[in-house]
């Protein structure tokens, strides 16, 4: 069975009832995959490229990933938190250096690394236009790493921004946890959250990852069901 290992943050992690209805993309990606493809989702809430390594989470992947498996690498949300030295990385130095470490883990086992730019937050301004967000330097750093190391890249950042602009402020509420949080007893009532996804958003954005795989073609497109 082919395996996809995913190293990432809360936008990808698999959730349980304690964070319902929060849903990560790694939790639903299998909707788009053939039956012989299994997702091994190591994504964890709040992690950056740095803290994921420091906590031994990449080592756990290193011990399990095998030849012709895939390693999806998506970080940025927490790398940009410059007030937290346990997570912060500089986009054009330590962030890129860390991405190279993930890529090396995949390649030394004969697995295929795929870089995925960070999902955009729901960052609408008061005038209803989508703001700039905070990911741009990390997106650029990841793209530069992909070019330097000849690694396939899926630009989820650009695709998600396009979807947010298309949907607008009101429709996009259905994709994120920001609204109606008080309906769910295990989620903090009234919490402002334009980062974490509900099921509809996770399915939508996982579909964009699938679109990116299809555009890469070859072994990447072969992971997908026909739809």
Q: Which of 35, 67, 126, 189 is catalytic?
A: 189
**Whether 197 contacts 19, CB under 8 Å:** no
Which residue in 163, 196, 215, 226 is the catalytic one? 196
Q: Is 109 a catalytic residue?
A: no
Phi, psi of 108 (to 5 degrees): -70, -20
Sign of CA dihedral 97, 103, 157, 16: negative
Which of 10, 48, 160, 172 is the catalytic position? 10
Residue 10 a catalytic site member:
yes
- The answer to whether the beta carbons of residues 87 and 55 sit under 8 Å apart is no
Residues β-bridged to residue 2? 37
226 catalytic residue (yes or no): no
Active site residues: 10, 189, 196
């Amino acid at each position: 069975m082919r395996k996809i290992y995913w190293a990432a943050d809360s936008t990808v992690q698999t959730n349980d009832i304690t964070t319902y209805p929060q849903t990560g993309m790694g939790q639903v990606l299998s909707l788009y995959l053939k039956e012989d493809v299994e997702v091994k989702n190591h994504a964890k809430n709040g992690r950056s490229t740095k803290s994921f390594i420091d906590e031994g989470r990449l080592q756990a992947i290193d011990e399990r990933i095998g030849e012709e498996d895939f390693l999806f690498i998506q970080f940025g949300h927490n790398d940009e938190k410059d007030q937290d030295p346990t997570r912060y990385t500089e986009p054009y130095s330590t962030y890129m250096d860390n991405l190279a470490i993930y890529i090396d883990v995949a390649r030394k086992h004969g697995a295929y690394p795929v870089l995925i730019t960070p999902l955009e937050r729901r960052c609408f301004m008061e005038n209803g236009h989508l703001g700039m967000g905070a990911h741009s330097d990390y997106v650029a750093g990841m793209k530069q790493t992909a070019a330097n190391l000849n690694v396939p890249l899926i630009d989820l950042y650009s695709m998600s921004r396009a979807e947010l602009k298309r949907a607008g402020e009101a429709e996009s509420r259905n994709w994120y946890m920001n609204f109606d949080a008080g309906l769910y007893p295990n989620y903090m009532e009234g919490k402002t959250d334009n980062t974490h996804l509900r099921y509809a958003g996770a399915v939508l954005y996982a579909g964009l990852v699938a679109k990116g795989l299809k555009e890469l073609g070859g072994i990447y497109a072969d992971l997908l069901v026909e739809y």
